[in-house]
Amino acid sequence: MTWRWIPPLTADGNRQMAIDRWMLAQQCEESGSPMLRLYRWSQPTLSLGRHQRQIDPRWMALAQQGRLRLVRRPSGGRAVLHSGELTYALACRPSTTHRLTAYAEVCQWLLAAFKALGVPLAFGSVKAAEAAQRGNCFASGTAADLIQANGAKRIGSAQLWSGACLLQHGSVLLQPSQGLWQEVFSSAAPDLDPLPELAVMEALQVAARDHLCGGDLQTMDLNASEWKQIQQLEGGAFLSP
């Protein structure tokens, strides 16, 4: 089946999360084709997993100061700081609904892209229960995450399932802001060499074509009708400080 490539979009967290939810809804329709996109955030944003209820007072303070937006993701996982990174989202029907197996299969294109960039990655080994005790997604690497040889986490991913349909999105760290990261998490950002956004985007698209979509990746912008559907999903993601 042909995969649809939605060109990169820069927007606020509320709109980005609405598009991701829309992608999953479209995939669950019988005629829905798999979709993939990369996107940027229009301002520094902290996204929280759908089940993450504890909000650090520092995050609220930064939001009140207008230095950070808080948004709720439709997927699980811990807090992710979207600044100096690139986010991907895909919606498809994997060959299996077994969560870890699906992660392993769906992440092959990410592994291929970073291998081509000369930055080999591997799956993390931290138990999910242990990672759940931490508020920061990048504080540990589970089997759903991709880490470098030095143990630093480069990509953190999360899922939302609707029957056999999967929404998976993740944060690809390029050059996170050390200062803001320290303020948000009271810890240093992962020890990663900076990567140029354009080179990463190109490597990801090529790897997606060859290792995710079977060579069939069709570029198609969102049309007016689709934007109308997406706009109806907006409004519930932002968290008030």
Cβ count within 10 A of residue 72: 17
Q: Dihedrals φ, ψ of 53, to 5°?
A: -100, -25
Write down the pLDDT at residue 141. 74
Task: Tell me the CA end-to-end span of the chain in Å, nearest whole number.
Answer: 43
How far is Cα 36 from Cα 213, in angstroms, rounded to an integer?
9
Looking up residue 9, the CATH number of its domain turns out to be 3.30.930.10
Averaged pLDDT, 19-47: 93
Confidence of residue 240 (pLDDT cuts 50, 70, 90): low
Residue 239 maps to a domain: no
Confidence of residue 73 (pLDDT cuts 50, 70, 90): very high
Question: Is residue 131 scored above 50 in pLDDT?
Answer: no
Q: Which structural domain range is residue 116 located in?
A: 3-231
pLDDT digits (tens, 9 = 90+) for 154-178: 999 999 999 999 999 999 999 999 9
- Out of 35-39, 53-57, 126-130, 155-159, least confident range: 126-130
Told to judge if 137 belongs to the known catalytic residues of this protein, a careful annotator would answer yes
- Out of 121-135, 144-158, 163-177, 225-239, least confident range: 121-135
Residue 238 maps to a domain: no
Which residues, 6+ apart, have CB-to-CB distance to 222 below 8 Å?
A: 6, 19, 230
Residue 78 maps to a domain: yes
Residue 236 maps to a domain: no
Averaged pLDDT, 36-60: 93
DSSP string computed for 127-170: -HHHHTT-SBGGGS--TTEEE-TTS-EEEEEEEEEETTEEEEEE
Write down the pLDDT at residue 238. 75
pLDDT digits (tens, 9 = 90+) for 75-105: 988 899 999 999 999 999 999 999 889 999 9
Tokens for 116, please give them.
């081509």
- Listed in order, strand segments (DSSP E) in the chain are 3-11, 35-41, 45-48, 69-72, 80-82, 85-92, 122-123, 145-147, 153-162, 165-173, 217-219
Residue 28 maps to a domain: yes
Averaged pLDDT, 26-42: 91
- Out of 43-47, 131-135, 211-215, least confident range: 131-135
Residue 237 maps to a domain: no
Residue 93 maps to a domain: yes
Confidence of residue 70 (pLDDT cuts 50, 70, 90): very high
Q: 9, 38 in Cβ contact below 8 A?
A: no
Confidence of residue 184 (pLDDT cuts 50, 70, 90): very high
Residue 129 maps to a domain: yes
- Out of 13-22, 52-61, 120-129, 157-166, least confident range: 120-129
Look at the chain and report how many structural domains it folds into: 1
Among residues 92, 137, 165, 213, the one annotated as catalytic is 137
